[in-house]
Structures are given as C-alpha cells and as structure tokens.
C-alpha cells in the first residue's frame, strides 16, 4: 500500500511522535496540517521550510519535555545513587570492608562491583519512585 503523502510530510508526522503524549494528542494534528499547508506554499524552498520547522521542533521538544517534569525525575533518580554510593565508598569502606592488599583477587573485586551495581539499581529505583510520586500532577484545564 503506497501512501499518497510526500516523504517529507510523512517524516514530519513521524517526528511528532517525539513529543510528550499529552502535547502530541492536543497539538500534533494541527502542526502537521500547518506543515503540509506551508509545504504547498513554499514553491520548492523545502530546505528553508525544513530549517525553520527543524529549529522550531527542536526548541519546542525541549520545552514540552521540561514541562512534563520527567527530566528532573530522571536526573534525580540518577544523581542521588551516585552521591549516596560515593559517600558510602568514601566514609564506610575503611570501617566495614577492606580489599585484600594485593588486588589480584578477581572474585572479591567482582563481588564489590556486583554489590555496587545492585545498590545503584536499588537506590535509583527508590529515587525514581519517590520523585515520580511527589511530582505535581497537571490536570487539563476545563474550557
């Protein structure tokens, strides 16, 4: 089945899927129609049209995803485990755990790496859950 839309229009519609779901449901149909209309009026100046819309899409993608709060949640979920594990490594390692003087023991080093990765995953999961639970819930405005 061949689509009747030109490739660049289909590509622009595909780029719309990069937007957050709520924004996409509300605005992408109109944005795609505007692009098709401007494409018809551009009279062959597709490069300029793509440049204009590319800059607009890049900027609005960043703004729309920042408005969802997800970048903050993800940043916190990644940053806090690193901070916590760094603090544990700096302050508690001399007290609770000593690596053998010759670091040739691969099993001990492998175990330390495994424990570190597991702790990172657990802390990241907890932080992601907490950040998700406390982020503000935006309800749609009634018209």
User: DSSP labels for 82-113?
Assistant: HHHHHHIIIIIHHHH----SSTT-HHHHHHHH
pLDDT at 68: 82
Query: What pLDDT is attached to residue 40?
Result: 83
Domain map (residue ranges) of the chain: 7-68, 70-134
Please tell me the pTM assigned to this model. Answer: 0.54
Nearest CA to 20 among 68, 85, 56, 52? 68
- Which residues, other chains included, contact 128 with Cβ-Cβ below 8 Å and sequence gap of 6+? 73, 74, 76, 77
Q: What is the pLDDT along the chain (143 residues), one digit of tens a residue?
A: 556 888 888 899 999 999 998 899 999 899 989 888 888 887 778 888 888 888 888 888 888 888 887 787 778 777 877 887 777 777 765 555 565 566 566 777 777 778 888 888 888 888 777 766 666 666 666 65
Write down the H helix ranges in the chain.
Answer: 7-15, 21-41, 46-68, 70-87, 93-96, 106-134
Nearest residue to 26 via CA among 74, 60, 73, 49: 60
Give the model's pLDDT for residue 140.
Answer: 62
């Amino acid at each position: 089945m061949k689509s009747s839309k030109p490739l660049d229009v289909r590509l622009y519609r595909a780029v719309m899927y990069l937007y957050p779901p709520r924004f996409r449901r509300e605005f992408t149909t109109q944005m795609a129609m505007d692009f098709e209309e401007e494409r018809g009026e551009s009279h062959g100046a597709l490069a300029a049209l793509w440049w204009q819309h590319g800059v607009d899409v890049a900027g609005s993608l960043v703004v729309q995803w920042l408005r969802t709060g997800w970048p903050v949640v993800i940043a916190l979920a990644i940053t806090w485990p690193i901070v916590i594990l760094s603090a544990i490594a700096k302050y508690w390692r001399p007290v609770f755990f000593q690596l053998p003087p010759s670091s040739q023991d691969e099993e001990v080093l492998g175990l330390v790496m495994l424990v570190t990765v597991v702790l990172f995953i657990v802390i990241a999961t907890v932080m992601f859950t907490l950040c998700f639970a406390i982020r503000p819930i935006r309800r749609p405005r009634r018209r």
